[in-house]
Structure 1
Amino acid sequence: MKKFMNTAETMVAESIEGFVRAHQEFVVFGAGRKCIRRRELVPGKVAIISGGGAGHEPMHIGFIGRGMLDAACVGYIFTSPTPSQIVSAIEEADTGAGCLLVVKNYDGDVMNFEMASEMASDRHKIEMVLACDDIETTRGGDGRGRRGVAGTLIIEKLLGAGAEQGRSLSELKAFGDSLSSRIRSMGVALTGVAVPDTQRTTFVLEPNEVEMGVGIHGEPGHSRERFSDADTIVRYLSETILNDTSRSTDKTLLLVNGLGGTPPAELYLAYNSALRIMSEYGLRVERSLVGTYATSLDMQGLSITLAFLTDEELSLWDSPVATAALRWRC
């Protein structure tokens, strides 16, 4: 397995060091390098904090900055940050209005963020929002088991914009909870993930196969389908998402996200297919985002995310953002 690294053991630390050095206008290390925080914090603003294992870059560290996250912490590859790291992020980012933790719905992430919240609760006001946008294979209908994947980006952007407006911790908590039920994602992979420390691929596909329903930790999906043209694959993803949503509006945000090994040309082709399908179903794609934002290391694949948003929420999406990975109107 060939990767641009020195050793598997030092890869994450060296990568994070390079990220902070490359984006010093946005971020700095927190105390003891346990987290990364926004270079210039805003006094009296609710701090939006997230984090997760390495291997998903630019999520979450690439979203630290004006209009989005105030701090994030990084665990080892596909491993949750420790409670100590999360407490450090809370201590670093809270400027008096409390902290809202945005947590992807994976057992390890939820457990460690909850532990950190309990550890810091005597000194800080803390609330938590779960990102659970992935299509659940059992279709339970109550949100249990849905993983947090690329839709987490949308939650972080909208909550970050709301916090910049001066919304309270309780208002942002209610807002985040309402968003989670209106954002759905599904991924597809052409290859598994080459994990540096194990020197093996998480799953292997035959030349005529694709893996449907993959997550962002290299895990396989819920079904293995025959490889086909892009329109057929995108229609499968799009219609599965549409069949799993209840439409509160016909106004949507469409995100086509690369999982790490898919070139931009293929992502834009997939977006074009998805846009046609959404139109067939009477949906208005008011905003779009195409690119590589929530990855699974080097997985050759993509995900489609559809968010049903109000006019006010679309306005929050449009509001200024200045981070390493997202920047507009600043």
Structure 2
Amino acid sequence: MKKFMNSAGTLAQDCLEGFVAAHGDLVVFGEGRKHVRRRVLSPAKVAIISGGGAGHEPMHTGFVGHGMLDAACTGHVFTSPTPDQILAAIRETDSGAGTLLIVKNYDGDVMNFEMAAEMAMADGMHRIETVIVNDDIAVERSARGTGRRGVAGTLVVEKIVGAAAQAGVALEELKILGDTVVAATRTMGVALKGTTVPQTTRETFVLGPNEMEVGVGIHGEPGRSRDAVADASSIVALICGHILDDFGSLDGQQVLLFVNGLGGTPLSELYLVFGLARTFLEGRGVVIARSFVGTYVTSLDMAGVSITVTVLDEHLENLWDAPVLTASLRW
């Protein structure tokens, strides 16, 4: 395994040091260097906080800034941030208007954010709400266990909720809005190569020369099936077909179509996938109201792609379009 790093144990923190140095006009380290927050916090505004393990960059630190996150907590590679990291972020960004935690649906993330919220409330910060993102349709819904994972749709939730918070919307309304966006979002991914984790120096899964992993997770988890590699049109039809099946029907509905690279896929291929996905969905009556393409929610060096569809109304469109200024997302 070849990687630009000093050691696997310090990789996450070393990367954060470089990130903050590069974007010091927008972000700073929080107290104890436990999290990254906006350089300038907005007074009397609900704080929006997210986070997760390193290895998914630019999520989440790349989305800290005006119109999106107030702080992001990063753990070691594919490891949840600790409750004390999250608690420090809550304390430092609290303006008195409350805090909304946006959490990907993984056991460690859910547990640690929940513990941090309980600790914060014990300290007297009672206005805390949580939105759990579970957009990955590759995992079946279940009354037991974690259920569906939070993947690229997390970015959509953070952008829309972050815009509403920037506009001064109250905590309780932001919680409802976040849950609404989660319910309107579906994602599914395919990988052509596993991801190489620095601590183990091994790929999370190894594919044969003619195999692809369908429904892969962003921590390198195997998908719902291992299929023969097909041409791009067939792969896109497979993913989009599953997404439409899960929605039931999107005929006549306006949507955001988001094609995301998982770390090792060239931008040219992402645009190819987007064009095919747009044609497929429009052929089934779906209206592509907003388009978004790029490498934003990654799994280190995984060669793969995910497709996210979010059903929009005029209000959600306006929030998606609202100004944003972060290291990795700005318009």
State TM-score, norm by structure 1: 0.97
Task: Note the residue ranges of structure 1 that are not aligned, 5 or more in a row.
Answer: none
2:236 pairs with 228, 234, 238, which one? Answer: 234
- Whether 1:265 aligns to 2:268 is yes
| 1:322 counterpart residue number | 325
Change (3 A) 1:198 1:224: same
- Look up the SS of the partner of 2:102 in the other structure: strand
- Whether 1:120 aligns to 2:129 is no
| 2:259 counterpart residue number | 256
- Residues 247 and 308, structure 1, Cα contact 8 Å, conserved in 2: no
Distance across 2 between alignment mates of 1:140 and 1:101: 23
Code of the aligned partner of 1:37: R
- Residues 138 and 188, structure 2, Cα contact 8 Å, conserved in 1: no
| 1:165 counterpart residue number | 167
| 2:43 counterpart residue number | 43
Distance across 1 between alignment mates of 2:257 and 2:223: 22
Distance across 2 between alignment mates of 1:144 and 1:176: 19
State the Cα RMSD in Å. 1.4
- Look up the SS of the partner of 1:327 in the other structure: coil
| 1:27 counterpart residue number | 27
Distance across 2 between alignment mates of 1:283 and 1:107: 34
Q: Once superposed, which parts of structure 1, at least 4 consecutive aligned residues long, lie more than 6 Å away?
A: none
- Residues 107 and 146, structure 2, Cα contact 8 Å, conserved in 1: no
Change (3 A) 1:322 1:56: same
Code of the aligned partner of 2:196: A
Paired-residue identity, %: 59
Deviations 1:142-167 (A, max 9, x none): 99611000000000000000001111
Code of the aligned partner of 1:211: E
Distance across 2 between alignment mates of 1:182 and 1:322: 25
Code of the aligned partner of 1:253: L
| 2:105 counterpart residue number | 105
Distance across 1 between alignment mates of 2:288 and 2:203: 36
Distance across 1 between alignment mates of 2:248 and 2:92: 39
| 1:186 counterpart residue number | 188
Distance across 2 between alignment mates of 1:228 and 1:294: 24
- Whether 1:225 aligns to 2:227 is yes
Distance across 2 between alignment mates of 1:140 and 1:34: 34
- Residues 136 and 145, structure 1, Cα contact 8 Å, conserved in 2: no
| 1:278 counterpart residue number | 281
| 1:87 counterpart residue number | 87
- Residues 132 and 143, structure 1, Cα contact 8 Å, conserved in 2: no
Distance apart, 1:6 and its partner CA:
1.1
Code of the aligned partner of 2:96: G
| 1:199 counterpart residue number | 201
- Look up the SS of the partner of 2:8 in the other structure: coil
Distance across 2 between alignment mates of 1:140 and 1:232: 29
- Look up the SS of the partner of 1:303 in the other structure: strand
Distance apart, 1:92 and its partner CA:
1.1
Distance apart, 1:138 and its partner CA:
3.0
Distance apart, 1:200 and its partner CA:
0.7
State TM-score, norm by structure 2: 0.97
Change (3 A) 1:92 1:139: closer
- Look up the SS of the partner of 1:293 in the other structure: coil
Distance apart, 1:183 and its partner CA:
0.2
Distance across 2 between alignment mates of 1:32 and 1:143: 34
The count of residues paired between Structure 1 and Structure 2 equals 328
- Residues 106 and 146, structure 2, Cα contact 8 Å, conserved in 1: no
